[in-house]
Structures are given as C-alpha cells and as structure tokens.
Amino acid sequence: MIVALLNQKGGVGKTTLALHLAGEWAANGKRVTLIDADPQGSALDWSQQRAREALPRLFGVVGLARDTLHREAPELARDADHIVIDGPPRVAGLMRSALLAADLVLIPVQPSPFDGWASAEMLSLLGEARIYRPQLAARFVLNRCGARTVIARATAEALADHDPPVLGATIGQRVAFADAAQSGRLVSELDDDSPAARDIAALCAEVGRIAL
Ligand SMILES: Nc1ncnc2c1ncn2[C@@H]1O[C@H](COP(=O)(O)OP(=O)(O)O)[C@@H](O)[C@H]1O
Ligand SMILES: [Mg+2]
C-alpha cells in the first residue's frame, strides 16, 4: 500500500506520523520505504540523525521531492510491502504528484475550532486526483489532541460520514513526539508502553483495516 501524509499546512504532523507509521509497520516485519517529498528533508534529517547515533535502520528513507514522484513510486513499491510518503507543505506540483502515487491519503489536522481542517486547495487537489484515480481513499487524522479530546471526538463522530471521513484513532499532544524527533528515534524506542506509542499502534491498526 502507498500511503501519503498530506496537508498544505506546515506543522500539522505529516513528518511525525509518516515516520511513526513507517516505523510501526517495520516493527511488524513489513518492508517499508519512506519517500521524503518535502524539499526541507526533515525525514531525511531524522534518518541521518539515527545513522550518526548508530541506531538500527528500521526502514529506508529516500529523498524524492520532484513532480515525477508518481512515476518513480511504483518502482520503489515493487521492493516494499508499504510505501509512506511524507508530503510537502504548499508546493502544489509535488502535492499533485503524491496524490497520483497514493492508494490512501492521510490528512493530519489539529482539532481546533478556529482552524479550517484542510485548505480548500488541498481538497480541490484531492478532487482533481480522483478524476484519474476514483479509488483513491482519504482520511483525516486528528493529531495533537489535548485534554479536551472529548470535543475532538465529538467532532470526529459528527464528521465520520463526510468525505474525507475522520479516523477513529486520534493522536494525543505528547512531548514524546518532540523528544523522538530530536533524537532520531520513534516514541516506541523511548518507551514501548507510553501513551504516544499506544496512539501510534492504534492508528496503524486502523489504517491496516481500511479496505482499499
Ligand atoms: N502529537 C504530537 N504531540 C506533540 N508534538 C507533536 C505532535 N505531532 C507533531 N508534533 C511536533 O510538531 C512539530 C511539527 O510536526 P511535523 O510532523 O514536523 O509537521 P509537518 O511535517 O506537518 O510540518 C514537530 O516539532 C513535532 O515534533
Ligand atoms: Mg514535515
């Protein structure tokens, strides 16, 4: 399966969730390649940090921030069980290419009532991609849910029938994600039984149940 983490907004958790989804699949014995489609290369930085600290390689990270991504991804997919694409902010050409490559698009959003969840442009790019790829699945993922997750969950339920629907699994606002990012680790490597690690396991399990 090719999963793309996309949202034109920066700082919503694309890189965090891409790395953790890839890591969770790898921990479950899957062959995973992560495509860093963000010119800023934060996923590549993370994997280089790992290499510097001589941590074991969990999955390959390939920098591919080009509009031809959708033509190159199937080749990479041949040698992997799963491909995870860490999407770029803003750049519409790259976003389009990632949408054409993906089987499933996950759109991380922060459940704030003051914030549009995804930009109109993001949703129109998704609509455009579906002209060519009617089977393309998409889901919102609520990230950085705070103590008032009840509100987030109510919002999620209200929006479950909408398109794209919202995943039931949500990711809490947890410092472990920032600690993991800085140290080239995954939250499960910091503490396998932490709330953050359990959030990720639940997310990964739900993504695995999406029929594509
Ligand atoms: N659930 C979370 N809890 C705490 N911090 C988070 C969470 N998700 C992301 N972050 C932090 O927010 C910042 C932006 O996340 P990032 O994944 O880089 O977003 P994007 O790739 O969409 O720009 C990073 O510093 C990251 O560590
Ligand atoms: Mg990023």
User: Which residue type does 126 have?
Assistant: L
Pocket of ligand 1, candidates 14, 15, 16: which has the most ligand atoms within 8 Å of its Cβ, to mutate?
Answer: 16
Specify burial of residue 154 (Cβ count, 10 A radius: 0-12, 13-18, 19+): exposed
Ligand nearest, relative to CA of residue 10: 1
- Residue closest via CA to ligand 1's atom 17 equals 13
Which pLDDT does position 153 carry in this prediction? Answer: 62
Distance 171 CA to ligand 2 centre (A): 16
Q: What is the pTM of this model?
A: 0.94
| Contact indicator for 2, 25 with CB cutoff of 8 Å | no
Q: Which atom of ligand 1 is nearest to the CA of 17?
A: 17
CB distance 12 to ligand 1 below 6 Å? yes
CB distance 143 to ligand 1 below 6 Å? yes
Which pLDDT does position 37 carry in this prediction? Answer: 97
Which pLDDT does position 16 carry in this prediction? Answer: 98
CB distance 10 to ligand 1 below 6 Å? yes
- Residue closest via CA to ligand 1's atom 27 equals 178
Which pLDDT does position 6 carry in this prediction? Answer: 95
- Residue closest via CA to ligand 1's atom 6 equals 177
Domains of the chain: residue spans and CATH: 2-211 (3.40.50.300)
Distance 170 CA to ligand 1 centre (A): 14
Which pLDDT does position 34 carry in this prediction? Answer: 98
User: Which residue type does 152 have?
Assistant: A
Specify burial of residue 29 (Cβ count, 10 A radius: 0-12, 13-18, 19+): exposed
DSSP label at 112? Answer: -
Residues of the chain with pLDDT under 50: none
Q: Which atom of ligand 1 is nearest to the CA of 144?
A: 1
Q: Which atom of ligand 1 is nearest to the CA of 87?
A: 21
